């Protein structure tokens, strides 16, 4: 009997050790989790608009203007890779309507240009260079088409859907299908040169259009200003709000009963909505230079600025989408290449050495041995510390064994179980007393805290002060930014 009792007790301890917390709120899908892993990717704009030195082509440029003198997909992708970018989205068709692949859907495409004697396919070249260099690939196909004579009529939708189908069929698995919100207005429209307005709540029949994406590219994250998988952060400056929730509920505009892309003006976009209905993390899109297209007089942002944007996007649980603009040769200019490389090295070297990795760690609570706090230092974001169900506030103390100097703190929640933590603070041990150096709100996929100046300490404490449910934390790090 005694033996039986013991077996039961150790069995229940074992079960408890194995039993993960219940998920909380909206949860990320498999494709969204894969997207979170990327952190930074790029968005290439390169069409006849580049050769017109404009930002928005009217749709009337002669296809012959698309004539790069020395296009080199590998040069572009290698520069992106050196910048730490893990994926590339190509604008396969921008608002000017020029298709960079030999499509059957419109005459206004690359086969009518001098590029490779009319035999070229720029989507294929970028896709292959990306895959060869280990980057994921995605596409942006603008719904607004300022060239197409049919734009604004009921016949255009099937043309747009056919373009998506071509892109979804011929270029392998896509990580992203990017859908811009700019819709209707003036354009060439087959020579009509007029203004055409559409009702963006119905014109693109998004429900059925996105059903094509889901069916043909189940791993493609759908981006739009109102989300679906990924929401626009509400600005093109590259930063999310200080408090940043991955959850969101797109709201219909006044007088409508459905939320659709093209509305863009959600005051909640930068911050997200706590306890929103859907997991819809923000993408922070920002061009490397001033414009999305190449303009010779503009220069790239400095590596320091890029690093700051990284902290304010990836470091706030979002992803950073950096616009890359090939020049008239069809390559990234040397100053772009240099800025990307220095930025990439800065991120790599700053985060390669977690100064807390050998710390001894104690926690005020632990769910069971599988959820021991040591999991936050194992560089494996799939393992995590968790508290018991009824413990919503908890602390972790780390003894760094010797004084360490750092100015960045990194935290990651175990997001497959949802975004849980709402408030926390960090203390360091200084002059024989604990001193609070930071108080924060959201964490989510990643939180990077940049201290105003470096601190030195041999003990650090994280206090989770508010969470609606038990806590999870998968990673913790302290770093010294490299110059
Ligand atoms: C915007 C577009 O109108 C710009 O031209 C650019 O493509 C940017 C990424 O999205 O909304």
Confirm if 51 and 65 have CB atoms less than 8 A apart: yes
Task: Tell whether 20 is covered by a domain.
Answer: no
Closest residue by Cα to atom 3, ligand 1, is 182
**Closest by CA position to 163, among listed 188, 142, 184, 182:** 142
292 lines ligand 1 (CB under 6 A): yes
Summarize pLDDT for 1-51 with one digit per residue, the tens: 444 444 444 444 444 557 999 999 999 999 999 999 999 999 999 999 999
Please check whether residues 310 and 374 belong to one and the same domain.
no
Write out the residue range of the structural domain in which residue 68 sits: 30-350
Measured CA to CA in angstroms, residue 21 lies from 18, 24, 237, 294, 390 at distances of 10, 9, 37, 49, 11
Candidate from 180, 184, 232 with most ligand 1 atoms within 8 A of CB, to mutate: 180
The answer to whether 412 touches 475, Cβ cutoff 8 Å, is yes
The answer to whether residues 162 and 221 belong to one domain is yes
Instruction: Tell me phi and psi for residue 18, to 5 degrees.
Output: -90, -15
User: Which pair of structure tokens corresponds to residue 240?
Assistant: 């999310």
Are 86 and 212 within one domain?
Answer: yes
| Spatial distance between the Cα atoms of 34 and 220, rounded to a whole number of angstroms | 10
Please tell me the predicted confidence (pLDDT) of residue 262: 75
Last residue of a domain, one of 301, 325, 350: 350
Kindly give, in sequence order, each residue whose CB lies less than 8 Å from that of residue 370, ignoring residues fewer than 6 positions away.
17, 18
Residue 285 CB–ligand 1 contact under 6 Å: yes
Look at the block and give the residue holding tokens 């003198």: 69
Considering 295, 323, 350, which residue would you say is the last residue of a domain? 350
The Cα 73–Cα 309 span in angstroms is 26
Query: What is the Å distance from ligand 1's center to 180 Cα?
Result: 7
Residues in the chain: 483
Separation of CA 58 and ligand 1 centre (Å): 14
Exposed/middle/buried for residue 295 (C-beta within 10 Å: 0-12, 13-18, 19+): middle
Residue 362, pLDDT score: 97
Residue spans of the chain under pLDDT 50 = 1-15
Whether 309 and 377 map to the same domain: the answer is no
126/294 Cα distance (integer angstroms): 17
CA distance 474 to 396: 13
Q: Which atom of ligand 1 is nearest to the CA of 287?
A: 9
Q: Which residue of 97, 182, 295 sits with most ligand 1 atoms within 8 Å of its CB, as the best mutation to test the pocket?
A: 182
DSSP H/E element including 172: none
217 and 317, same structural domain?
Answer: yes
Residue nearest to atom 8 of ligand 1 (CA): 292
Residue at 264 is within a domain: yes
366 and 322 part of one domain: no
Please check whether residues 231 and 298 belong to one and the same domain: yes
Q: Are residues 422 and 297 in the same domain?
A: no
- Report if residue 16 sits inside a domain: no
What would the two tokens of residue 239 be?
């930063």
The enclosing domain of 58 has a CATH number of 3.20.20.80
Give pLDDT tens digits for 226-276: 879 999 999 999 999 999 999 999 887 777 777 777 766 678 899 999 999
Question: What pLDDT is stored for residue 8 in this prediction?
Answer: 45
Other Cβ atoms less than 10 A from the Cβ of 380: the count is 11
Q: Please report the atom of ligand 1 found closest to the CA of residue 94.
A: 7
Residue 13 in any domain: the answer is: no
CA–centroid distance, residue 387 to ligand 1 (Å) = 44
pLDDT at 9: 44
The predicted structure's pLDDT at residue 17:
54
Q: Do 178 and 228 share a domain, yes or no? A: yes
12, part of any domain: no
In the three-class reduction of DSSP (H, G, I as helix; E, B as strand; rest coil), residue 164 is classed as helix
Domain CATH for 470:
2.60.120.260
Domain count, the chain: 2
Residue 247 lies in a domain: yes
Residue 24 lies in a domain: no
Ligand 1 atom with the shortest distance to the CA of 178: 9
Q: Which atom of ligand 1 is nearest to the CA of 55?
A: 5
The residue among 350, 376, 402 that closes a domain is 350
Indicate which residue's Cα is closest to atom 6 of ligand 1. 292
Best residue among 59, 176, 223, 292 to mutate for probing ligand 1's pocket (most ligand atoms within 8 Å of CB) is 292
Ligand 1 center from residue 88 Cα (angstroms)? 16
Ligand 1 centroid–CA 285 distance in Å is 9
Index of the ligand 1 atom closest to the CA of residue 140? 7
With beta carbons less than 8 A apart as the criterion, state whether 455 and 428 touch.
Answer: yes
The dihedral built from the CA positions of residue 325, 328, 331 and 334, taken in this order, carries a sign that is negative
Query: Cα separation of 66 and 144, whole Å?
Result: 20
Is the minimum distance from the CB of 46 to ligand 1 under 6 angstroms? no
Q: What is the pLDDT of residue 251?
A: 81
| Helix pair 206-216, 156-170: axis angle to 10 deg | 20
> Does 1 fall in a domain?
no
314 in the same domain as 180: yes
Q: How many helices (DSSP H) and strands (DSSP E) are in the chain?
A: 9, 20
pTM of the full predicted structure?
0.95
Q: CA 380, 136, 178: angle at the middle one, nearest 5?
A: 115
**Cβ 182 under 6 angstroms from ligand 1:** yes
Question: How far does the centroid of ligand 1 lie from the alpha carbon of residue 291, in Å?
Answer: 10
323 shares its domain with 418 = no
Q: Are residues 301 and 368 in the same domain?
A: no
The reported pLDDT for the residue numbered 192 is 98
């Amino acid at each position: 009997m005694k033996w039986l009792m013991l077996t039961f007790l150790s069995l229940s301890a074992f079960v408890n050790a194995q039993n993960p917390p219940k998920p909380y709120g909206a949860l990320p899908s498999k494709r969204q989790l894969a997207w979170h892993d990327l952190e930074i990717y790029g968005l290439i704009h390169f069409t006849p608009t580049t050769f017109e030195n404009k930002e928005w082509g009217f749709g009337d440029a002669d296809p012959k203007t698309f004539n790069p003198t020395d296009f080199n997909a590998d040069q572009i992708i290698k520069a992106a890779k050196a910048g730490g970018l893990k994926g590339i989205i190509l604008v396969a068709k921008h608002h000017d309507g020029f298709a960079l692949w030999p499509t059957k859907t419109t005459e206004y495409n690359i086969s009518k240009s001098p590029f490779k004697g009319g035999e070229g396919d720029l989507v294929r070249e970028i896709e292959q260079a990306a895959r060869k260099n280990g980057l994921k690939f995605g596409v942006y196909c603008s719904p607004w088409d300022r060239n197409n004579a049919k734009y604004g009529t009921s016949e255009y939708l099937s043309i747009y859907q056919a373009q998506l189908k071509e892109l979804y069929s011929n270029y392998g698995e896509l990580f992203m299908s990017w859908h811009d919100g700019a819709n209707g207005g003036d354009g060439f429209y087959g020579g009509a040169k007029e203004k055409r307005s559409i009702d963006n709540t119905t014109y693109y029949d998004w429900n059925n259009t996105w059903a094509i994406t889901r069916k043909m590219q189940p791993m493609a994250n759908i981006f739009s200003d109102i989300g679906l998988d990924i929401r626009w952060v509400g600005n093109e400056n590259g930063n999310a709000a200080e408090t940043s929730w991955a959850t969101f509920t797109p709201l219909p505009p006044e007088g409508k009963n459905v939320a659709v892309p093209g509305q863009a003006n959600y005051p909640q976009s930068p911050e997200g909505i706590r306890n929103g209905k859907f997991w819809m993390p923000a993408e922070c899109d920002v061009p490397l230079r001033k414009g999305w297209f190449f303009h010779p007089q503009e220069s790239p942002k400095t590596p320091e600025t890029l690093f700051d944007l990284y902290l304010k996007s990836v470091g706030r649980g979002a992803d950073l989408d950096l616009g890359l603009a090939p020049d008239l040769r069809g390559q990234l200019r040397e100053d772009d290449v240099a800025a990307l490389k220095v930025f990439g090295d800065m991120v790599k070297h700053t985060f390669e050495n977690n100064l807390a990795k050998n710390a001894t760690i104690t926690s005020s609570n632990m769910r069971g041995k599988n959820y021991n706090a040591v999991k936050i230092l194992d560089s494996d974001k799939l393992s995590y510390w968790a508290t018991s169900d009824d413990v919503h506030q908890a602390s972790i103390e780390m003894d760094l064994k010797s004084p360490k100097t750092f100015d960045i703190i990194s935290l990651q929640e175990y997001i497959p179980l949802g975004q849980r933590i709402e408030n926390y603070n960090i203390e360091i041990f200084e002059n024989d007393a604990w001193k609070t150096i930071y108080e924060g709100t959201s964490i989510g996929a990643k939180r990077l805290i940049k201290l105003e100046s470096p601190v030195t300490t041999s003990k650090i404490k994280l206090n989770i002060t508010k969470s609606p449910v038990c806590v999870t934390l998968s990673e913790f790090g302290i770093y010294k930014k490299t110059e």
